[in-house]
Structure 1
Amino acid sequence: MDNRSEVREFLSSRRAKLVPRDVGLPDVGQRRVPGLRRGEVAALAGVSVEYYSKLERGALGGVSTSVLDAIARALRLDDAERSHLFNLARAADGTTSMLRPRRRSRSWAPRPSLTWVLDGITGGPALVRNGRMDLLATNPLGRAMHASLYERSPGQVPNFARYTFLDEDSHRFYPDWDTAADTAVAILRTEAGRDPHDALMHDLVGELATRSTDFRRRWSSHDVRLHGAGTKMFHHTAVGDLELAYESLDMVSDPGLTLTLYAAEPASPSAHALALLGSLAATTGHVESGAHQG
């Protein structure tokens, strides 16, 4: 992906989201486009208009940490956006490949010890994915929960983004589809900033942008996000609605991969549905023993 255009579009999109009152400035004069003017951002960051304009044109190479921090404060960037800005600056410097841990190839397979750990998680679904949102491994309950995604995947490795934007079944699986779609794009955008030379990411984004208007619109917003925690809603064909809390963790032993754990509130309808799903998976033999590689 073109780093200069990424920088330009990201900074201009963040600037467009702010109005003078957001940053304590008077709203003076007619504005031709939404958001702050470049001069206002420059003043807030303590740099010249000429210098900030150069940065917003994509020239982030060699910019100091203090200037990046000042711009992040001026644009009111959250933690995910600030990290994205710094990743774009590293890419502009050509240092991304040196700073990022070595990536796993598409042939990654779970180590036996990871398989044992996943199999030991019996109270809720657990899964491993990469930044491109390939579903790489699950515990048995995770496999059962995502049975439709596995069954409908056109390739060996299911991909959450392809499923979300290219398969109508995703609207059934994700009752709050818009939030799921926003999240998927933000994860991909964040990963693209971390590793701008990932050819597989280029291919995935190109495919989705060509085939999905919903994806193109969201991709152009340049929203990013970090792994975190929260609650998601799912609808499973066998057990109905599932409201599950989740925690997502970067895997230090496998750089670039994320472990996500799901759990239902004890004694809730979702907990009973999750227990039923586990029983169905065990009795029907739909899910084999062991962590399943996608």
Structure 2
Amino acid sequence: MNSPRRVFPDWQALATEAAGRLRASAGRFPDDRELTWLIGELSAHSEEFRRVWATGEVVMCDSGRRRLHHPATGTLHLDHDALHIPAAPGETGLVLHVLSAEHGTPEEAALTRLAATLPAARHLPQAAPNR
């Protein structure tokens, strides 16, 4: 199994963003016992988390480029967008993360090859390329 640090070469930046998103959730839901427990566990068992958490950074949304390493394709540079889906008061919303490749790039070809290896992909119609 690949470690997150191997899959995501920019691990430190992503970990900082994740802690910032967690801090934003903690601010929205200060009485959430499970969230408080999670932050306590991470703080108790990870020096790196304690260091990042101490910065106080809050991240509400993010988009841009992501670099990740897949064992079958190597390093991929993908566009990343996060769609925040709000919830009713007192409930936790959802965040949909979308990674995509620009048409005609080696990354698009790599994602197409990877998708073809998924069992469910054998039953899906092929989409016409966007031009």
Q: TM-score, normalising length from structure 2?
A: 0.81
Of structures 1 and 2, the one with the larger relative CO (CA 8 A, separation 6+) is 1
Residues 1:244 and 2:78 are matched in the alignment: yes
CA deviation profile, 1:146-201 (whole Å, cap 9, x unmatched): xx6xxxxxxxxxxxxxxxxxxx8111011011111111111111110111111111
Q: Structure 2: how far apart are the matches of 1:252 and 1:177?
A: 27
Contact kept? 1:209, 1:216, Cα under 8 Å: yes
Contact kept? 2:116, 2:122, Cα under 8 Å: no
**Equivalent position of 1:266 in the other structure:** 103
- SS at 1:180 equivalent: helix
Q: Structure 1: how far apart are the matches of 2:122 and 2:17?
A: 30
**Equivalent position of 2:13 in the other structure:** 179
Return the letter of the residue paired with 1:218.
Answer: V
- SS at 1:266 equivalent: coil
Shift in alpha-carbon separation, 1:265–1:215, aligned structure 2, 3 A: same
- SS at 1:179 equivalent: helix
Shift in alpha-carbon separation, 1:252–1:190, aligned structure 2, 3 A: closer
For 2:54, which of 216, 220, 226 is the aligned residue?
Answer: 220
- The structure richer in helix per residue is 1
- The structure richer in strand per residue is 2
Return the letter of the residue paired with 1:274.
Answer: L
What value does the CA root-mean-square deviation take over the aligned residues? 2.3
Q: TM-score, normalising length from structure 1?
A: 0.38
- 4+ runs deviating over 2 angstroms: 252-255
**Equivalent position of 2:126 in the other structure:** none
**Equivalent position of 1:192 in the other structure:** 26
| Cα distance, 1:228 vs structure 2 | 2.9
Q: Aligned pairs, how many?
A: 120
Identity of aligned residues (%): 33
Q: Structure 1: how far apart are the matches of 2:115 and 2:122?
A: 12
Runs of 5+ in structure 1 lacking a partner? 1-147, 149-167, 290-294
| Cα distance, 1:253 vs structure 2 | 6.4
